[in-house]
Amino acid sequence: MRLPSFPTPSILSGTALILVGLTCSHNFLPSAHAQSGLGNAFRQPAVGGISIDPSGILQSADPVTLTAVRSQLQQAMQPLPEQAQKPGLRNISLRKLELALQESAASGQPLPDSLQYLAGLQRVEYVFVDLEHNDIILAGPGEPWFINDVGIAVGQHSRTPVVLLDDLLVALRSVHAARLGGISCSIDPRPEGVAAMQQFINKQKQFHAEVAENVEQLMGPQLITVQGVPQDSHFARVLVGADYKMKRIAMRLDPSPLKELPSYLDMLQQSRVKIASAMPRWWLACSYDALGRGSEGLSWQIRGVGVKAMTETELVDAQGNRKQTGKSSHLAQKWADSMSEHFEHLAAQDSVFGQLRNVMDLCVVAALLEKEGLYSRAACECPTLRSPESGLAHETWSAARQVATQCSIVKRGKDFIISASGGVQIGSWQVLDRVQDLPELDAASSSALTNPSRTGPDWWWN
């Protein structure tokens, strides 16, 4: 599985550090040509922050546009069902969800908000198999929801993003791709751009403002690649968005939402580490505890924070080709550890990281259902959710394909160009390798399946 990377340091005489990165912030406004397989039901023209044109070029969205989009989303929101206004443990019946989707499609009407936002589900924490009713139940904390400042539906209490039906569709339908090659996001500089940049730097004797501008021009646009899920999906945009935001926090292009997570440049300034040894790249990966398993494998619990930051140093030759070292610098590791340690708080402060955890959770659920044969055991095959041929397609957007290079400059003694890299790697099937028997899960399953609301007409209940 290919992980994203950026050019490594080149020495430059002068008085500044140049951190090569991305111009874009972490979220998106769609082009005017965005289409939805759900009848444009997901009123999500903003994932926040930037726009993307039909050719795949990303650029910053102006604040006026972002405010207008948020206002439009708020006005389009439907009143919350009475039960959804109460926080609690949300239980979602996949069998009844299937029926609700089929009925909605037959009506020709857009899906209601409650379906789009899965009744305000915040995370999928439990998977229960209901043999009596031929059903599979997904359960986790749920809250009433609202549209936040960057146009994302979040819980009123936790402020973390709700789980989207659209992401569930993509996760269930990408489960085999996840097993064979994994799901990942990669942002790669062009080798010819890296080579041209290094040749230019080698000719410079001192730093001045034009150097940074020339570096940006010579590096040119960097290429965005998504593997394992459709590149035009909201799911893919979450991967790319989290990648962007991680880079921009590290490079101090965006202010960190947490005082406990300073930028990597701030850490460099305050340390005495030799900059020549600091050649970091970071990526985000799954971080779960052992899965909890009840007796007979009919009840499961997904445990742990879900996401961690990882780091490694990288070398680049004169032709712009990159080589991984398998090692990491102390300071880069410290920054990665800090991001991992504070991820819960970060996800509440910056929605894209909460969305990333949601899609990782869904990938683990998809792998679990498939590996353990839970569809067959429950006699609940979920064809509408699992098959793109069912007539229910994921929402499509113009895919992000390129992003320009930007330099972040900090003065400190000798000067280097420091690489900043990122990406997302979802190894959902590897999460299933660690399982712990938890007999107490049987009681949790029994509570969910014997709830009086279980036999009602609704596809979800508290």
- Segment 303-333, tens digit of pLDDT: 999 999 998 865 555 555 565 666 677 888 9
Instruction: Using alpha carbons, select from 416, 431, 326 the residue that is nearest to residue 370.
Output: 431
* AA identity, residue 282: W
Name the domain count of the chain.
Answer: 1
Distance between start and end Cα atoms, the chain: 40
Please indicate whether residue 460 or residue 329 has the higher confidence score (pLDDT): 460
Higher pLDDT, 136 or 16: 136
Q: Indicate the pairing of strand 424-426 with strand 280-287.
A: parallel
Higher pLDDT, 330 or 180: 180
3, part of any domain: no
- At 30 the pLDDT is 31
Report the alpha-carbon distance of residue 60 to residue 294 in Å, rounded.
Answer: 48
Structure tokens given for 456: 């009602």
**Radius of gyration for the chain, computed over Cα atoms and rounded to the nearest angstrom:** 23
Distance CA 122, CA 125 (A): 9
Q: How far apart are CA 371 and CA 299, in angstroms?
A: 14
pLDDT given at position 54 = 62
Asked if the structure places residue 2 within a domain, the reply is no
pLDDT at 401: 83
What is the rounded CA–CA span in Å between residue 330 and residue 272?
12
> Within a domain: residue 37?
yes
Strongest mean pLDDT among 36-45, 123-132, 262-271: 123-132
User: Which structure tokens are listed for 339?
Assistant: 């991001």
Q: What is the pLDDT of residues 339-392, one digit of tens each?
A: 999 999 999 999 989 999 999 999 999 999 999 999 999 999 999 999 988 889
Task: For strands 88-93 and 135-142, give the pairing.
Answer: antiparallel
CA distance 221 to 57: 9
- What is the per-residue pLDDT for 201? 77
Residue 27 pLDDT greater than 50, yes or no: no
Asked whether residue 153 carries a pLDDT value surpassing 80, the answer given is yes
Q: For 392-409, what is the mean pLDDT?
A: 80
CA within 13 Å, CB half, 165? 28
How sure is the predictor about 199, in pLDDT bands with cuts at 50, 70 and 90? Answer: confident
**Share of residues in the chain with pLDDT > 70 (%):** 78
Residue 118 has pLDDT above 90, yes or no: yes
| pLDDT exceeds cutoff 90 at 14 | no
Is residue 35's pLDDT more than 70? no
Average pLDDT for residues 217-237, to the nearest whole number? 89
Dig out the tokens for 332 from the structure: 């880069």
pLDDT at 194: 80
pTM of the model: 0.87
Residue 138 lies in a domain: yes
> Is residue 1 included in any domain, yes or no?
no
Residue 199 located in a structural domain = yes
201 vs 143 pLDDT, higher one: 143
Domain assignment present for residue 4? The answer is: no
* More reliable by pLDDT, 380 or 32: 380
**Mean residue pLDDT across the chain:** 81
- At which residue do the structure tokens 């009602």 appear? 456
Judge whether 105 and 383 are in contact, CB under 8 Å: no
Domain of residue 64, residue span? 11-461
6 within some domain: no
Residue 111 or residue 402, greater confidence:
111
